[in-house]
Every structure is written in structure tokens, then in C-alpha cells.
Structure 1
């Protein structure tokens, strides 16, 4: 604040390719210009800020000037929490889904959209970032819905699991304990899971565009095209997000927090470095064979553990390269010479 004595706090409520909208008070969103290094939100070049260092929906910033033409963001305030994923592409990058969040509603439909392994992946991205996850199973009103079987398939999760009808205000009222005044909640889940429908129900008006899912596979279209923070009548803030087809770890996740049941069994294995495959004395495989643990959950645990380890290696390499680039007096690396005869 000392470097910007005329600045005022505001919160990022929308993020578009062309810029941001900020609010200094509820229902007063205004477009705001940003610093040049934040303007290419989808790019990353040498010398620019990494994507996770730019403002995201839910961030608190300092603004100067006045709308509609001179309002501008001049500083990003420290975050108390953030949900991130690895960005698509070969190079290591992070993408902030939402910042300064108290709770994440992981939304999944009780139709063909129901996928315990995908729910586990979402929970992995949420865990360890100071955000409380809650699994919300929508479409409980459908004839084929079976909430109890779904809960059984999610065995091992140490998080609240709620089944509801996203179109019914009385059913959606089950979420009120996490929607108290001053709390911020983000909705994450695949397209067609009912995130925008649930948002409209909690708002009491049809504000978010919704669409029907395909009959043969219950997959939905991207009716939500950008992240938006919305003030609810309860005094909470809700962030609706587009469905995400790719959920890559960043390497900062704590796998043990999402699979504490498997980690507890792994501590009983004969070998400390047991891979839970064919090793003798494996407590995890023994639990699977006894029917006490779902083998598909173990397979997903091993898969996600490998992905997090790989992402952690790439993150360490990126940090080492940054540290090397900041070393004063170090000559720049020469590009490798091309073999003769090649262009």
C-alpha cells in the first residue's frame, strides 16, 4: 500500500482473454486495465511473469483511477489459498483456477457423468491448498440415480459427500453450512454436471446459461465460458467455472492427504519402498484381495502418484533454471551447434 497511496482494494470477479472485471463492492463489477506483464494471460515468454503469478478470479488487487475508462490494477495482494492445475502443453506451467477460496464443491452428476476416479483427481488438486473439499452429487431426482451405491463407490474419501437435486432450492439448502456470509466457494466439475444449474438455484434467478446433456453419454457442452465470481443472497461468494477436460497435477499436491486410507495400509507393508504390485507382504494388495479396498482406487492412487512425482520433477527443473538465470555475472548459454549439412 505504501507504494500506491491512492490505491483501493478490489476483487477480481471475471477473467477474460481481453482483461479483467473487478468489484469494490457487491454487484459493482467494472472493467479494469492491468499491468502490461499481466495482459497476455495465455502466453508465457522469457522475462514475463509465470501464469500463476498473474491475477485470477477471486484474487484481491489494488486499483487506481475510476471506471469506466481509467480504472486500472496496479498490484496483486498475497493469496491465502489457490486451486491450481498443470496447464496443457509440453512445457511446465501452472494455471490458477480460483484464489482466496474457503471451499471447493466438486460437482458430479448421478448419471453417466458419475466417475469416482475423476472425483479423486479433483480432490487431489484441491487438497493441500487450504481449501475444504465437498463432493456434491447432482441429479439425485433422476429415476436411475442411486446415491447410496455412489457413496459406496466413493469409499475411502474423508470428505463430506452430499446428493441433491440442483434445480430444487430445498435440496440445494444442504449446502448452506458452507455458504455463510464472507465465505468463498468454487464449483468444479465436468461440463453437464449441473454447476450452472446449481448456481442459478442458489441465486434464486436464472443468471447462468445452462444446456441439456447428450442422451447417450450424459456429456454436456461448455455453457460457462469463463470463470465468474457471484455474490449470493446468503452473503457468500460463488465462483462458477467451465468444465475442465484435462486435470494435470502441478507437482505440489499431497497424494497422502487424498488417499489416507491407502497410505495407512502402505505403512504396514513388509518393504518400505513397496510398489503394491507383486511384492510379498504387501498390505495394500492383501486388503484388495480381502475385498476391503477397491482395486481401481489403488490403481488410480498409483497413477496419480506417478503423475505428481513427474510434475514435481518438472517444477524443480523450472525453479533451478530460474535460479540459474538470476545468477549475476553468469554468461548466457550458447545454443547447441547444428551438425554440418543440416538446416
Structure 2
């Protein structure tokens, strides 16, 4: 293997046995652009991107790459989720790092997204091309099974494997309500690991998901311990950390931007700012994430059972018997409504964009007929 390929593999470039990238679309892109070379987006800022072609080699590129520019540039021409994000692989050209430019965004293997805040339908990309998502939650006042369920919904829809990481195991009470939530997660075939984020031996429980060539991302609320976990995995104090408030165990945003960091294990880790709002995009599969409720629903007397007051409802029977947490069921209904609403907004937005496209073509045609084509 060449030194260049070894450097790329160290930051997650997936190679097949023949030395070429695993993804066929990536191979094709390299053939079509013989003068381009792959690099990975390791930081994203308002002023531009930082990309890397090895663990020790990163450099800035322009904020508006040429591939993103329409013939006549106008603000908002490309959707946010269509632009590069941390974890993305891109092709760059340029004889030196000072003149490097992005010429193509390679197709994503996985993508973790959420709906952006606001009335209009938009998506926000959290991380791209990750193998594992560590959903970090503290075993203190931060612990919230319903929030974890929301994270799992978004993660699974993006194609990555979720792992719930429960931090602050050194200060958590053994008889806390979190123990019940942990059992619920385990019953859903979700890997759960309780760790002391400050202890290297404890954090070693995450190493099976941090093998060479793999990429993981940390998500969770502020104060959950993501930056502390990153520092322990690195073995150095690289990420800024802060104290949490006593009354709700929430922290300040010590991490202010997403960054991809190579680990000593050979894996890459993406640390993210804490997220207060987790809105579905409308692409999620609620049934997949609540398979226990879907299985119960199949035993209801009526196929269109709403699980309210219908006779022979297996879901209500499970709640009354204590076999199904009523709060989990309430969250299932809430997330189902949110996903359906988001899907409806997305569909309306697609129709609107298509109508705008048709109207634009009609206007151009009338202008051509009146003034002639230039």
C-alpha cells in the first residue's frame, strides 16, 4: 500500500482488497477526475472548510466550492444537506494546499440528519460517513429515555449503528430510575455501555466500535460528557470541558463546532456541540424503532386499532399489565405524528420546488419568444 493510501485509510478511507475504494461510485468519480485526489472534511466553519488527506495533514479550502456554484449564483441555490459536512469525502484539485479546491462531493455511505428549526422545511446534516453513533447520556439528571429514543430514531434512519453510552457511572446511584431505562434499551437490541468518561480503563468498553478505519460520532446534550470522553480516548486534554449545573446536570456549549479527530486506536471520532432540539426529517421509520409496540399491535382485535378504548387492544392490555411503559407508548405516538408531519412538509416542499422550476422555464420561454435567444 502506498503512503498516500495508508494516510487516507488512517482517517477512514474504506479500501477493498484491490486497493480501490469500496464504494463503486467513488471509483467512478476518481476515474472521471484523474487529476483529483480524495480528502475528508474534518472541520466546518462559516468561513469555509478544513479538509485532510492524512492524520497529520489538514488545510483550508474555499467556502463556496466550484461544484456548488450555479451559472448565476444566488443565495440558497443549494440545500444545506447538499453541501459538504464533517465526515464527508470530497475530491480536491490543486498543486498545493494553498490553492486546493473542492471539485466534487462523493456520495455518502451514511448520514445523520435532523430537521432544522423554523417553519420552512430544511434538513441539517450532523455528520456523514460514520459507522457508529455514540448516543451519550449522563446517569444523573441528564438521563432521559425518551430523548434517547428520539436519538435512536434519527440515527437508524441514517444507516449507522447506534450505541448508547451512559456516562458518570462513578457517581450514579445503583438504584436510580435509569436502571429501568437501561433494561428497556437492552431489550430493544441496542448496545448499552456505562462508563466513567474520565477513566481510560472504563472507556475501553467502547474500543470494539473504534477499530482502525472506522468512524464514530458523539451526540448528546451539553454536559453529558462528550468532550471528556473524547479527551480520554485521545489520552490528552484536547477538547475544552466545563462544569454542569447542579439542578439539571446540563452544561454550557464547550464544543462550538463539529470536528473529526484521529484516535490512537486507528479510528476517527467526531465530536459535536450539544443539541437541544431533535426534530425528525420525515424519512424515519418509527415502526423499526418501536418494534415491540408494532408486534403488540399485530395482536389487536381490529386491524385499524388506535390503541385507545377499542376492545381487544393488545397494546392497552400490555400497558395495564405493566409489560409496556406508558411513557414509551406516548413517545411512540408523539414521534409518529412528528414524522408524518415532517414527511408532509417535505412532500409539499418538493411540489413547490417543481412548480417553481416549471414557472421558471415558462418565463424563460416567453422572454426568448419576445426578445430572442442570446
| Preserved contact between residue 38 and residue 54 of structure 1 (Cα < 8 Å) | no
SS in 1 for 2:98: coil
CA drift at 1:253: 0.3
What residue is the counterpart of 2:44 in the other structure?
Answer: 15
More helix by share: 2
CA distance in 2: counterparts of 1:90 and 1:51, whole angstroms: 16
Over 3 Å counting, the alpha-carbon distance change for 1:46 and 1:204 in structure 2 is closer
CA distance in 2: counterparts of 1:38 and 1:131, whole angstroms: 27
CA distance in 2: counterparts of 1:249 and 1:150, whole angstroms: 22
CA distance in 1: counterparts of 2:103 and 2:345, whole angstroms: 31
CA distance in 2: counterparts of 1:111 and 1:149, whole angstroms: 14
CA distance in 2: counterparts of 1:61 and 1:154, whole angstroms: 36
Are 2:82 and 1:57 aligned?
no
CA distance in 2: counterparts of 1:48 and 1:209, whole angstroms: 35
Number of equivalent positions = 329
Q: Aligned match of 1:139 in 134, 148, 168?
A: 168
Are 2:330 and 1:302 aligned?
no
**Once the two structures are superposed, what CA deviation does each residue of 1:309-328 show, in whole Å capped at 9, x if it has no partner?**
00011111112223333348
What residue is the counterpart of 2:321 in the other structure?
Answer: 290
What residue is the counterpart of 1:195 in the other structure?
Answer: 226
Q: Aligned match of 2:312 in 269, 281, 299?
A: 281
Structure 2 gaps, min length 5: 1-29, 364-374
SS in 2 for 1:127: helix
SS in 2 for 1:88: coil
Larger deviation, residues 298-307 vs 253-262: 253-262
CA distance in 2: counterparts of 1:63 and 1:56, whole angstroms: 15
Structure 1 gaps, min length 5: 333-343
CA distance in 1: counterparts of 2:328 and 2:159, whole angstroms: 24
* TM-score, scaled relative to structure 1: 0.90
What residue is the counterpart of 2:193 in the other structure?
Answer: 162
What does 1:1-343 correspond to in 2, within 5 Å?
1=30, 4-35=33-64, 48-66=77-95, 68-144=97-173, 146=175, 148-152=179-183, 154=185, 156-327=187-358, 331=362
| Preserved contact between residue 140 and residue 172 of structure 2 (Cα < 8 Å) | no
| Preserved contact between residue 18 and residue 39 of structure 1 (Cα < 8 Å) | no
CA drift at 1:73: 1.1
| Preserved contact between residue 128 and residue 257 of structure 1 (Cα < 8 Å) | no
CA distance in 1: counterparts of 2:290 and 2:262, whole angstroms: 34
SS in 2 for 1:215: coil
**Once the two structures are superposed, what CA deviation does each residue of 1:254-299 show, in whole Å capped at 9, x if it has no partner?**
1111111011111111222222222222111110000000000000
